[in-house]
């Protein structure tokens, strides 16, 4: 591989760097657009000049600088808030009427999420002003809202609010996620306040894609009656993951098989290999090779839109299309030019793809497979064919895992130990199901009796795959969990992977020494952070709607004091902060009159707690104050809407600060807040301000 055959690899680095800085800063630079136009004209003029060879690097540096600022400008300009006529200028604190077009297929969860492009907004339907901008609607799922489809024009009454930042420390930043979907406002809409005004808007091609996906989902529900098997079938064949249960997601994630539950590069790759196998029988030659290329591209993009054109399959289709066109017009299409070329095209279309986890994992996995697979395969001696094929599946999975390892640790905080075992199951089983599922779709129309038999066979295949995945999940040490690494460590780990690759290619000891030095630095950083965390002490009152959760953290040990919570709710609320703090031992306690705990530095005796020298008094009902003697407390915590005033509490608790947690209603906390402001008492409103954190010293 030489630089001559990989120009896009050189172009993509400064361009992506500019996009990354633009996404982080998100600040426009005045006159940058005209300067870039002038710079591009100058670059074109310089390219036609004869420049001495020893000065060519100056031209290269100039192009890199131009691409960097082009990436920055492209990313910043993509923000919808900087486009004219945005509805943000027309917002009111009261409910407003707005109309808009559904521009993506709604997604299902606890609520129905419907993204719309707003067309008009006003106080009433007869006073609308023409506006633009994206808005995410949250609707209750019922017989009316379930009929909403892509291309529908919707009218609704609701209070439109900016997307909120996370209310708990180190929690998933849903606002930032929506920002990179170009959505900055949201509205919770009641079912009786929304109506479908008309349908058939949007692009015909996308409407056909979503309708095709819905028909395929209905067919799969017919042949896969049980929930888990239907959910996996719809994920494997259509890329639809809304019906996956939390248990199923966890099982596939903890076994390293989650990539199989989305139509992606693996599926498009299997389709491409199958098409090449079939078309090889026709022996296309000369100009007819273009017909072969056209047929393959047509089949790939037909598959893309028939399965609903999800983001992952679109990425894969662009990647394979770039490769196929490169092979058609040039004998050699190096993967290290195809990959950045396809990424370049996608990022020109939407620079926010760069910040999509799926985009990052897709290209990291393919890059890992391209570089490491062949080199790992050469390390093994010749084997019988059956063993050789199994080895190839294993090495493909290992190469992909190596490419995605830093990102997996950073985003998912876990490492699936038995990914190699589950890889054999999901890759081979997925290949059988993909081709069997395609045949099932055809037979359902032409031979229903045969389709019934095939459907039963595929059902039991999926049943066996699910059972195998759940079994692997239960194996001892199946997953290393609660891993936390900083963003810069991700970059350092990729430097380490590059050093491993360099050592394999050049066989020089200096790369091994550099790798050992890097690991030593990371080890020292790990020791220093663990030392700092082992002496850290804090109290955290989490933001948890209608319920309470308090952590007393001493080093890597936590005592949680809470209502009786569903496990998934506690994990969603507190797990990220506990992982960041390297917590290894958790002691749960519940709010109860019988609850008591005495340790060296923590005393809990309802309704009081003392952590080192910090004293907390909890009030959850007015009856607690009757007959009580005055007590000194650093923090007074009010929960569960007690019918008391702060002045009444002040008679019994001489507090330094009062905290209202999110189990209280907004109306009640507003009364307390006004009372504290008038009296000059310190207060903290968890519902509005997010989790309350207090560092505790001995």
Tokens of 120: 């008009």
DSSP state of 693: E
Neighbour-count burial for 28-43, b at 16+ CB within 10 Å, e otherwise: eeeebeeebeebeeee
Name the one residue in this structure whose structure tokens are 């002003």. Answer: 129
Sheet strands (E) in 164-289: 185-189, 194-198
Q: In angstroms, rounded to a whole number, what is the distance separating the alpha carbons of residues 316 and 264?
A: 6
The per-residue pLDDT for 236 is 84
Q: Are 607 and 619 in contact (CB under 8 A)?
A: yes
Strands 134-139 and 185-189: parallel
Q: Are 199 and 149 in contact (CB under 8 A)?
A: yes
pTM of the model: 0.90
Least Cα distance to 336 among 361, 366, 313, 374 occurs for: 366
Q: Is residue 237 over pLDDT 60? A: yes
Cis upstream peptide for 571 (omega within 30°): no
Within 10 angstroms of residue 549's Cβ, the number of other Cβ atoms is 24
What DSSP string describes 161-180? EEPPPPSSTT---HHHHHHT
Q: Is 461 exposed, middle or buried (0-12, 13-18, 19+ CB in 10 A)?
A: middle
Residue 200 sits at the vertex; the CA angle it makes with 196 and 206, to the nearest 5 degrees, is 115
What CATH number labels 87-202? 2.40.50.140
The per-residue pLDDT for 359 is 87
Q: Are 326 and 337 in contact (CB under 8 A)?
A: yes
Q: In angstroms, rounded to a whole number, what is the distance separating the alpha carbons of residues 263 and 169?
A: 33
pLDDT, mean of residues 608-628 = 86
Higher pLDDT, 283 or 18: 18
Q: In angstroms, rounded to a whole number, what is the distance separating the alpha carbons of residues 307 and 556?
A: 47
Q: What backbone phi and psi angles, to 5 degrees, belong to 585?
A: -135, 130
Q: In angstroms, rounded to a whole number, what is the distance separating the alpha carbons of residues 194 and 144?
A: 9
The per-residue pLDDT for 330 is 64
Q: What backbone phi and psi angles, to 5 degrees, belong to 130?
A: -75, 120
Q: What backbone phi and psi angles, to 5 degrees, belong to 137?
A: -100, 135
Helix runs in 535-586, H state only: 567-570, 576-580
The per-residue pLDDT for 302 is 85
Residue 502 sits at the vertex; the CA angle it makes with 499 and 506, to the nearest 5 degrees, is 145
Q: In angstroms, rounded to a whole number, what is the distance separating the alpha carbons of residues 547 and 436?
A: 48
The per-residue pLDDT for 425 is 87
The per-residue pLDDT for 624 is 75
pLDDT, mean of residues 556-575 = 92
Expressed in angstroms, the distance from the first to the final Cα of the chain is 61
Q: Domain 537-695 adopts which CATH fold?
A: Metallo-beta-lactamase; Chain A (3.60.15)
Tokens of 412: 């998912």
Alpha-carbon Rg for the chain, nearest whole angstrom, is: 29
Higher pLDDT, 40 or 432: 40
Q: In angstroms, rounded to a whole number, what is the distance separating the alpha carbons of residues 196 and 152?
A: 7
Q: In angstroms, rounded to a whole number, what is the distance separating the alpha carbons of residues 356 and 369?
A: 20
User: CA neighbours within 13 Å on the CB side: how many for 26?
Assistant: 13
The per-residue pLDDT for 264 is 65
Coil/strand/helix, residue 61: helix
Q: Are 261 and 236 in contact (CB under 8 A)?
A: yes
Coil/strand/helix, residue 31: coil
Coil/strand/helix, residue 333: coil
What DSSP string describes 94-153? S-EEEEEEE-S--EESSSEEEEEEEEEEESSGGG-EE-B-EEEEEE--STTGGG--TT-E
Q: Where are the domains of the chain?
A: 3-77, 87-202, 208-480, 487-534, 537-695
DSSP state of 86: B
The per-residue pLDDT for 265 is 66
Coil/strand/helix, residue 279: helix
Residues forming a β-bridge with 479? 416
Q: In angstroms, rounded to a whole number, what is the distance separating the alpha carbons of residues 649 and 658?
A: 10
Highest mean pLDDT out of 287-291, 308-312, 520-524, 588-592 = 520-524
Q: Is residue 48 over pLDDT 80? A: yes
Q: Is residue 51 over pLDDT 80? A: no
Q: Is residue 36 over pLDDT 80? A: yes
pLDDT, tens only, 660-690: 999 999 999 999 999 999 999 999 999 999 9
pLDDT, mean of residues 646-665 = 93
Q: How confident is the model at residue 466 (pLDDT cuts 50, 70, 90)?
A: very high
Neighbour-count burial for 176-212, b at 16+ CB within 10 Å, e otherwise: eebbbbbbbbbbebeeeebeeeeeebbeeebbebbeb
Q: Is residue 2 over pLDDT 60? A: no
Strands 549-554 and 557-562: antiparallel
Q: Is residue 110 over pLDDT 90? A: no
Same fold, 87-202 and 537-695: no
- What element of type H or E holds 411? helix 385-412
Within 10 angstroms of residue 327's Cβ, the number of other Cβ atoms is 14
Name the one residue in this structure whose structure tokens are 């139509």. Answer: 263
Q: In angstroms, rounded to a whole number, what is the distance separating the alpha carbons of residues 100 and 5?
A: 47
Q: Are 615 and 632 in contact (CB under 8 A)?
A: yes
| Cβ contacts of 381 within 8 Å, gap of 6 or more | none
Q: Are 609 and 552 in contact (CB under 8 A)?
A: yes
The per-residue pLDDT for 286 is 63
Q: How many residues does the chain have?
A: 698
Coil/strand/helix, residue 283: coil
Q: How confident is the model at residue 262 (pLDDT cuts 50, 70, 90)?
A: low
**% of the chain surpassing 70 pLDDT:** 96
* pLDDT-wise least confident of 1-5, 12-16, 693-697: 1-5
DSSP state of 418: T
Q: In angstroms, rounded to a whole number, what is the distance separating the alpha carbons of residues 79 and 25?
A: 12
Sheet strands (E) in 542-652: 549-554, 557-562, 585-590, 596-598, 602-605, 608-611, 614-619, 631-638
Q: Are 194 and 145 in contact (CB under 8 A)?
A: yes
Higher pLDDT, 147 or 423: 147
Q: In angstroms, rounded to a whole number, what is the distance separating the alpha carbons of residues 263 and 258?
A: 11
């Amino acid at each position: 591989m030489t630089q001559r055959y990989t120009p896009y690899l050189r172009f993509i680095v400064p361009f992506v760097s500019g996009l990354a800085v633009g996404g982080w800063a998100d600040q426009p630079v005045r006159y940058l657009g005209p300067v870039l136009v002038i710079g591009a004209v100058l670059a074109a003029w310089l390219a036609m000049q004869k420049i001495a060879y020893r000065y060519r690097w100056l031209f290269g540096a100039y192009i890199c600088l131009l691409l960097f600022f082009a990436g920055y400008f492209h990313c910043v300009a993509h923000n919808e808030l900087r486009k004219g006529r945005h509805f943000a200028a027309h917002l009111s604190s009261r409910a407003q009427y707005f109309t808009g077009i559904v521009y993506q297929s709604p997604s299902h969860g606890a609520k129905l999420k419907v993204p719309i492009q707003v067309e008009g907004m006003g106080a009433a339907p007869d006073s609308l002003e023409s506006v633009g901008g994206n808005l995410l609607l949250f609707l209750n799922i019922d017989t009316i809202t379930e009929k909403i489809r892509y291309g529908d024009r919707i009218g609704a009454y609701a209070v439109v609010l900016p997307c909120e930042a996370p209310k708990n420390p180190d929690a998933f930043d849903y606002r930032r996620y929506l920002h990179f979907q170009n959505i900055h406002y949201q509205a919770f809409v009641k079912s009786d306040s929304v109506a479908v005004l008309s349908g058939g808007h949007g692009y015909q091609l996308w409407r056909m894609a979503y309708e095709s996906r819905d028909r395929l989902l209905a067919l799969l529900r017919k042949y896969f009656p049980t929930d888990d098997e239907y959910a996996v079938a719809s994920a494997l064949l259509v890329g639809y993951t809304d019906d996956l249960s939390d248990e199923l997601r966890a099982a596939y994630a903890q076994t390293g098989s989650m990539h199989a539950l989305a139509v992606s590069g693996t599926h498009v790759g299997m389709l491409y290999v199958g098409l090449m196998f079939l078309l090889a029988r026709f022996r296309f030659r000369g100009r007819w090779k273009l017909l072969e290329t056209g047929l393959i591209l047509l089949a790939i993009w037909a598959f893309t839109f028939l399965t609903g054109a999800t983001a992952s399959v679109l990425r894969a289709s662009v990647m394979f299309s770039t490769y196929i066109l490169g092979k058609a017009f040039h004998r050699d299409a190096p993967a290290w030019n195809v990959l950045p070329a396809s990424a370049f095209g996608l990022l020109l279309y939407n620079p926010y793809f760069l910040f999509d986890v799926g985009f990052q994992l897709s290209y990291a996995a393919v890059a890992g497979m391209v570089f490491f697979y062949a080199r790992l395969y050469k390390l093994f001696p010749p084997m019988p064919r059956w063993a050789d094929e199994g080895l190839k599946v294993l090495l493909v999975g290992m190469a992909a895992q190596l490419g995605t390892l830093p990102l997996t640790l950073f985003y998912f905080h876990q490492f699936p130990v038995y990914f190699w075992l589950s890889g054999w199951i999901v890759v081979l089983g997925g290949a059988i199901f993909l081709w069997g599922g395609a045949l099932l779709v055809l037979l359902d129309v032409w031979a229903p009796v045969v389709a019934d038999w095939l459907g039963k066979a595929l059902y039991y295949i999926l049943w066996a795959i699910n059972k195998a995945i759940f079994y692997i999940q239960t194996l001892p040490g199946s997953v290393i969990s609660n891993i936390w690494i900083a963003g810069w460590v991700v970059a350092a780990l990729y430097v380490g992977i590059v050093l491993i690759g360099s050592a394999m290619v050049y066989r020089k000891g200096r790369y091994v020494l550099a790798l050992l030095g890097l690991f030593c630095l990371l080890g020292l950083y790990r020791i220093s952070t663990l030392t700092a965390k082992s002496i850290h002490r804090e109290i955290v009152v989490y933001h948890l709607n209608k319920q309470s959760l308090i952590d007393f953290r001493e080093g890597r040990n936590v005592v949680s004091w809470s209502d009786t919570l569903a496990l998934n709710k506690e994990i969603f609320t507190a797990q990220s902060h506990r992982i960041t703090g390297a917590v290894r031992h958790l002691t749960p306690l519940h709010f109860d009159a019988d609850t008591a705990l005495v340790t060296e530095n923590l005393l809990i005796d309802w309704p009081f707690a003392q952590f080192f020298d910090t004293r907390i008094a909890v009030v959850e009902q007015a009856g607690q104050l009757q007959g009580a003697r005055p007590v000194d407390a650093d923090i007074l915590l009010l929960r569960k809407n007690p019918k008391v005033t702060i002045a009444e509490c002040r008679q019994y608790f001489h507090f330094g600060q009062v905290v209202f947690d999110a189990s209280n209603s907004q109306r009640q906390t507003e009364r307390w807040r006004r009372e504290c402001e008038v009296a000059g008492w310190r207060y903290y409103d968890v519902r509005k301000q997010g989790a309350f954190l207090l560092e505790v010293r001995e």
